[in-house]
Amino acid sequence: MSTAVASPATLSGRTGHVVAAIREHAAAIDEAASFPIDSLQALRNSGLMGLLVPARYGGLGGDLHDLVAVAVELAGACLSTAMIWAMHCQQVAGIVAFGSPTLRERVLRQVAHGEVYIASVTTERGKGGHLLTADQAMDNFHVRRDAPIVTGGEYADGFLITMRDLPEAPPNAVSLVYAPRSALALQSNGSWNPMGMRGTHSVGLVLEGDIEPDAIVGPPGDFKTVAVTTFAPVGHIAWAACWLGAARGALRDVLRLLRSPADRGSLAPDSELLRHRVARVRMELDVMAALLARCLTDAADTERIEDIPVQLRLNALKVYVAEHSLQVVDTLIEVVGLRHGYLRDSPLRLERVFRDLRSASLNYANDRLLAANGGLALLDQGVNLAL
């Protein structure tokens, strides 16, 4: 069963243990574009798969602050593994908040023991990641779902799937359902050879099977409530923590190089240009961290989570961090130059982080969130900021 009991008791102890393990595999899974099975096993053994599972189900009972603290560290070692874990935590948060008592009892204990890794099935052909509509419908608890992109889909032990509630229901009557791998016939129909995030092994998947009546997560046909109050805030916070963590890890590595007596001579750490660039990088990281901290406060205030200024910030967090984490790494490549910054076998591995972070704006597209925020911003004539 679980080896979680053997893990260090503190969150930072558990995290440090896992970071060391996943750092070891990061280059190989990137090279092969293969799923980080060994890294996920380290996470399963650490208890961190159940970070957000309440203690009464055997989990660590962590909150979103804990999620951010862990995600930032994991992402500094391997962004693919961090995102796999963070998206699993997002699914778990949905079940914790909206699962039926029997579903929670059944699934959350397995999650806490590291036995169940949950993948998200929200994309459909044509609509991309648009969360709140679905063409494919459930019929009498039978699910058949063709999803173009499922991160870690070939390796997940369970799936949270968006489906149109009934064949006659409108496209916006979306239900979220949980299905264990054992209940589904799976057909993987795609290869995975992307620019970055190569370890996430996000393949096309056709899933078919029957779900239990208690496996609808949240009110039937009302996935919107789950999305607005839990899925979107947790998702944006978790992704932002991962991207920020990757950029912070890059600065850490670069600072180690710039500070090293053996290497700094060739990098002119006393030049004004370098100082300005390093200053801007650090400034961006502080700005992103401040926005993330503010969004953690927003997410904890469930009464006001649907308020327009709050929705604007939660969307802005995703867009801003996606853009600026990439920009930070781009600047760092300028700072250290071709040999340390651009070569694939440079120990800094900035080129991998750069490729990985290029996906951030596309992962639930910034363009779509900006269109949504443009509409919301026009509604908020008072321009209510978090001041």
Which residues are near other proteins by CB under 8 A? Answer: 261, 264, 269-270
Q: How far apart are CA 172 and CA 159, in angstroms?
A: 21
Residues 6+ positions from 120 with CB-CB distance below 8 Å: 87, 90, 91, 150, 151, 159, 160
The amino acid at residue 219 is: P
Q: Which region, left, alpha or beta, applies to residue 35 given φ > 0 means left and ψ of -120 to 50 means alpha?
A: beta
Task: Report in angstroms how near the CB of residue 261 gets to other proteins at its nearest.
Answer: 5
Over the Cα atoms of the chain, what is R_g? 21
Q: How far apart are CA 232 and CA 234, in angstroms?
A: 6
Task: Report in angstroms how near the CB of residue 334 gets to other proteins at its nearest.
Answer: 20
Task: Report in angstroms how near the CB of residue 275 gets to other proteins at its nearest.
Answer: 9
Task: Report in angstroms how near the CB of residue 263 gets to other proteins at its nearest.
Answer: 12
Smaller CB separation from other proteins, 148 or 269: 269
Q: Which two tokens stand for residue 211?
A: 């779900």
Cα–Cα separations (whole angstroms), residue 221 to 97, 132, 158, 162, 167: 16, 10, 21, 10, 12
Smaller CB separation from other proteins, 142 or 264: 264
Task: Report in angstroms how near the CB of residue 99 gets to other proteins at its nearest.
Answer: 44
Task: Report in angstroms how near the CB of residue 81 gets to other proteins at its nearest.
Answer: 26
Smaller CB separation from other proteins, 268 or 370: 268
Task: Report in angstroms how near the CB of residue 266 gets to other proteins at its nearest.
Answer: 13
Task: Report in angstroms how near the CB of residue 252 gets to other proteins at its nearest.
Answer: 11
Smaller CB separation from other proteins, 261 or 382: 261
Smaller CB separation from other proteins, 126 or 265: 265
Smaller CB separation from other proteins, 56 or 259: 259
Smaller CB separation from other proteins, 126 or 261: 261
Task: Report in angstroms how near the CB of residue 378 gets to other proteins at its nearest.
Answer: 44
Smaller CB separation from other proteins, 276 or 304: 276
Angle at 243 between CA 174 and CA 303, to 5 degrees: 50
Smaller CB separation from other proteins, 187 or 271: 271
Task: Report in angstroms how near the CB of residue 190 gets to other proteins at its nearest.
Answer: 45
Smaller CB separation from other proteins, 270 or 303: 270
